[in-house]
Structure 1
């Protein structure tokens, strides 16, 4: 705390999870238009925040912004250039693991911002319902981005806003914690947000990939974990469907615009999952 004498600290009594903690901070900061989120396992370039503000000034049609993430332990590799959402409900960081020199992505629109280093219009963030606190952690940024996009908001990847991201700062990669929450929460995100005609259109893909993942984890000897995640996802569906009614009432863009923002390559989730193993 001594390193940031002008900062205001909000100390929580318990671990409320990523979603609830950030929601509390955003609601507490009432005297600004923009809120920037930065994980403790990141090291931003000195110009990072200024770069995001330049992007907001230059592109007023966008209301949330993704950073260029490089891997902390290997800055020659990308950690992500915005988030991708597949029609099946699976999501991943674009360009994750690719050499930085081979993927000089220009500033442009992406589906979502990885909330490890992102900036949001505060009022849009709150109007969309903020992060879903039942998620606790993982996939909450994609879920929020989906709700924002349904309301007509758009996300811009700012190519000059660079942050080194260690990743898995509080949990190990492929830990039981991250696997459980990630695979539970992606089911809720799909059913809460996908508009009805698209939901029925893409439901077979959603079911196929969920079944494939269950089989994969069973073959790896982790069947109990993935079955627990999917069972708890099903148990939470009534709550998700109640939320869905309010979310769908707020939709103000066409189904074509929604579909255009989704990845439709059938094998993309399988390829991404295989590369991460």
Structure 2
């Protein structure tokens, strides 16, 4: 059987035994990819050495930690398949994961991105994510995070953006959007890319039967670690500045400022107030660069302001 025109890209950085586990599960796919490309971000733990044990896996040693965004972009430069699937090294894909994503892509040729059902590894029945949501204040989060699976009505449908831990993109749409923003380094780069795809008139679908089991932030100190908190909060500001279109930007700006102030206050109760304040200050210093990108992004915008507004989460107190 001919292999489908899809390359799976895995960005690795000191993932220990997790990468080998990820590749083991990937080798069991009912519909194997044409190629697996492991981009190693200067690991020093020898985790990338396992790549040679797996057929069809190409290892690229980048020599330093370029970040999730830049490493993926280097992979995109050499991918020539119709589809690109991203998979984190701490995510284990169920056997029909890729088959079901590709089936959804075949059924919806007008859709650019397809998100997976992410379950928490080691926490049976708990959801790690149902795709990315974007709130009108500029907050973003993984839908369903921490909820019990049996309490969720899992149906295929449109989501704001797909989580970069396990996603399928059409390569042409991905390249037209410019790939990931390398200034982000990591965290929220998938939300930003999903937003730019949406501005370009593209859509993203959630595929609930394409399942991965995700450790989550396994190599970056956890979701509440300093690295994740800093980059996430800095990059949320840049996403807002770059992507929120036209009149919406100015109407919602006071709420975005209030949201950022509230984040500093909230994280102060966890002993991370100064860290979040530094992230916001660094984001402000980067606004001129983000604003220059905004001009290009908004000039290419196809979606109406109304379409973007309807895609945002508008609950007053969104929790999950």
Q: Same fold (TM over 0.5)?
A: yes
Q: Would you say 1:58 and 2:58 are equivalent positions?
A: no
1:84 is aligned to 133
Distance 1:49 1:162 in 2: 9
Q: Per-residue deviation at 1:202?
A: 1.1
Q: Per-residue deviation at 1:116?
A: 0.2
Q: How does 1:89-100 map to 2 (within 5 A)?
A: 89-100=138-149
2:30 is aligned to none
Q: Per-residue deviation at 1:3?
A: 2.7
Superposition CA RMSD, Å: 1.0
1:128 is aligned to 177
Q: Per-residue deviation at 1:203?
A: 1.0
Q: Per-residue deviation at 1:2?
A: 3.2
Q: Which residue among 235, 253, 256 is the counterpart of 1:203?
A: 253
1:19 is aligned to 69
Deviations 1:1-36 (A, max 9, x none): 233132221111001110011111112112x11000
Q: Which residue among 90, 112, 116 is the counterpart of 1:41?
A: 90
Q: Which residue among 198, 206, 221 is the counterpart of 2:271?
A: 221
Decide whether the 8 Å contact of 1:193 with 1:247 is kept in 2: yes
Q: Which residue among 124, 137, 150 is the counterpart of 2:186?
A: 137
Distance 1:255 1:153 in 2: 14
Q: Per-residue deviation at 1:219?
A: 3.1
Q: Would you say 1:110 and 2:171 are equivalent positions?
A: no
Decide whether the 8 Å contact of 2:158 with 2:203 is kept in 1: yes
Distance 2:317 2:153 in 1: 24
Distance 1:132 1:227 in 2: 22
User: Which stretches in structure 1 are left out of the alignment for 5+ residues?
Assistant: 273-277
Moved over 6 A (4+): none
How many residues were matched structurally? 269
Decide whether the 8 Å contact of 1:17 with 1:136 is kept in 2: yes
Q: Per-residue deviation at 1:223?
A: 2.3
Distance 1:220 1:49 in 2: 39
Deviations 1:94-136 (A, max 9, x none): 1111111111310110000000000101111111111000100
Q: Per-residue deviation at 1:220?
A: 2.9
Distance 2:148 2:133 in 1: 18
Distance 2:126 2:244 in 1: 33
Q: Bigger shift: 94-103 or 179-188? A: 94-103
Deviations 1:165-223 (A, max 9, x none): 00011122211100000000000000101112001111122111101111122233322
Decide whether the 8 Å contact of 2:264 with 2:274 is kept in 1: no
Decide whether the 8 Å contact of 1:75 with 1:164 is kept in 2: no
Distance 2:117 2:270 in 1: 33
Helix, strand or coil for the counterpart of 2:126?
strand
Helix, strand or coil for the counterpart of 2:278?
helix
1:181 is aligned to 231
Distance 1:77 1:35 in 2: 27
2:241 is aligned to 191
